[in-house]
Every structure is written in structure tokens, then in C-alpha cells.
Structure 1
Amino acid sequence: MRVSIVAIGKNRQGVFKDLYQFYATRIQWEIQLIEVDVRKTLDWKKQRLNETRKLLSSVPKESVMVILDESGKLLTSRALSNWINNQVDNGAKDISFLIGGAHGLDLSVIRSRSLTISLGRVTWPHLMIRGMIAEQLYRAQQILKNHPYHRD
């Protein structure tokens, strides 16, 4: 299985990139980070729409999409692991996690999303989310192997 993290902005260096790398190198699934740059506009709604469209065009074909949004469903790590396992059992070969920019994603243009999740009701820096998702993917993999990394 291949996992894609499709995100707005470039994370050139620093602790957020280090956090992502720390977990991404431990994940046994094929993982790729697709960083998307979009020219800034003064109108934040137009910016959000442009970013969402650019993200969607960068998602690998046939990929099951997971949208990260503050209004999304709150899942436990075990529930996310079970969801991933069900997708694989149903033939999914690629799962993409979409991370918007500072203004989030325009959910009105995302038609075929299969799951919208939230990492909590607080706001996180969008560059940090890459590392947080990588950690949850590593954790999901360990749960599926019955490894003691995760404790309920």
C-alpha cells in the first residue's frame, strides 16, 4: 500500500520536518509527501479555493482521500487503524491525507472524499500536521501488527 500526504506549502527545514522524517522513515508502507505551492491572493476565500483545487489535482489517481479538517470526525488511533485496514481489505492501494493551508480546505469542492477527520478541536500549525499524521500512520501500522507501541 502507498500512503500520500498531500499538503499546502513547503516545509524546508526545522523541527516540523524533523518530526515528519522521524516517523516517515519507520513506516513500512510506501509513503510520499507531496508539497503543493499556490500563489498567494489577497482574498482568503479565493486562496482557500485555489489551494483546495491544487491539492485535489495532486492526489494520485484511484487514491482514497482522507480530508483533515477541524470539523471532521474525531477518531481514536485504533479506529483510524481499523479504517485503514478496512480500506486495504476492500482493495485500496493508495490512501491520501489532504492537509490545507492556513485557511483550511474548501469542503464544497471536495466531492468524492471518503473520510473527513479532525486531530482535535484546537487549531494546529498546518506544517506540524504532517508529522502528526506520520506518527498516526506509524501507530496504525504497529496496532495492526499487535506491537506494544500503542497502548489502549
Structure 2
Amino acid sequence: MNIQILAVGKCKEKYLLRGIEEYEKRLKNDVKFSIKEVADERAPEGRSDKEAIQVMQKEGKRLLQQMNPQTYLIALDRKGKMFSSEEMASHIDNLAVHGRSHLTFMIGGSLGLSDEILQRADVRWSFSALTFPHQLIRLMVTEQIYRFIQIQKGTPYHK
């Protein structure tokens, strides 16, 4: 299975990078895993709704350019559906059984993902009704991907 995180902006916090690197190392024996970043767009303070949409559209175009067109897209969206770890692991396992071996988890910038991305998404996934920094979400998604794999393998990690 090929799993990718495609995200807007650079992750700069060293403590988050160390956590991400740890899960990347753990994942390398089970899946082909990668993280790709695209540049974020400046979002001026006091921006209008139109300016916010333009920012998300520009970031969305960059994301789409980096995305495999055949991928199964899981877009992180606070208005999306919440899944338990077991439900998502089962969903991913079912995709693999049906030949969907390329998955992309997409994380937007500070304003979220464009409508174009959300419409393209196969699943819109919400972690919580809470708002998290998108750099922290990168670590959380990486850990959850590792957890999904461990659930599928039946290891005690998830217990």
C-alpha cells in the first residue's frame, strides 16, 4: 500500500518533526509512506471572504498538482465525518481488498481546504469539533496511519 500525506506549509516545530519521523520509521516496514508539502499562501489579516477563498484556491491548485489522480483522497475537514480508529482501519483495509492501494490524506493550510479539493475527496474526515494547528495535525495523522496498520495486523499497539 502507498500512503501519502499531502499538506500545505512547512512543519517547522522540531518536537513535531521528531514525532513524525518516529512514525515514518515505524511505517517503513509495512507501507510505502511519504509526506509532501506545498507552499502556503499569505493570508492577510482582516481579509475578506473573497480573499480567503482565493487563498484556499491557490493552495488547492498546488495540492492537486502534487496529487496522484488515481489516489483515494481522504481530506481533513472539521465538517467531515468522525471515525474511530477501528472504523478507519477497517475502511482502509476494505480499500486495499478492492484494489485501492494508493491513499492520500490531505491537510489544508490555516484556512482549510478549497471547495474543489473537498468536492474531489472520497472521504472528508474530521478529527474533532476542536480546531488544531495544521502542523500538529500532521503528527496526529501520521500516528493514526501507524495505528490503522497496527489494528489491521492485530498487534497490541492499539490496546
TM-score range, shorter chain: over 0.9
Name the counterpart of 2:127.
Answer: 119
Counterpart contact for 2:40–2:109, Cα < 8 Å = no
User: How many aligned residue pairs are there?
Assistant: 151
88-97 or 38-47, larger mean C-alpha shift? 38-47
Q: With structure 2 as the length reference, what TM-score do the two structures score? A: 0.89
Tell me if 1:14 matches 2:14: yes
Post-superposition shift, 1:57? 1.8
Name the counterpart of 2:37.
Answer: 35
Name the counterpart of 1:61.
Answer: 69
Name the counterpart of 2:157.
Answer: 149
CA distance in 1, matches of 2:6, 2:116: 18
Post-superposition shift, 1:108? 4.5
Can you list the C-alpha shifts for 1:58-96, whole angstroms capped at 9, x where unaligned? 112311000001001000000010011011111012100
Name the counterpart of 1:50.
Answer: 58
Cα distance change, pair 16–111 in 1 and its aligned pair in 2 (3 A)? same
Name the counterpart of 1:96.
Answer: 104
Post-superposition shift, 1:3? 0.4
Output the amino acid matched with 1:33: I
Query: SS in structure 1 opposite 2:75?
Result: strand
RMSD: 1.4
Q: Which has the higher helix share?
A: 2
Unaligned runs of 5+ in 1: none
Counterpart contact for 2:5–2:36, Cα < 8 Å = yes
Counterpart contact for 1:6–1:34, Cα < 8 Å = yes
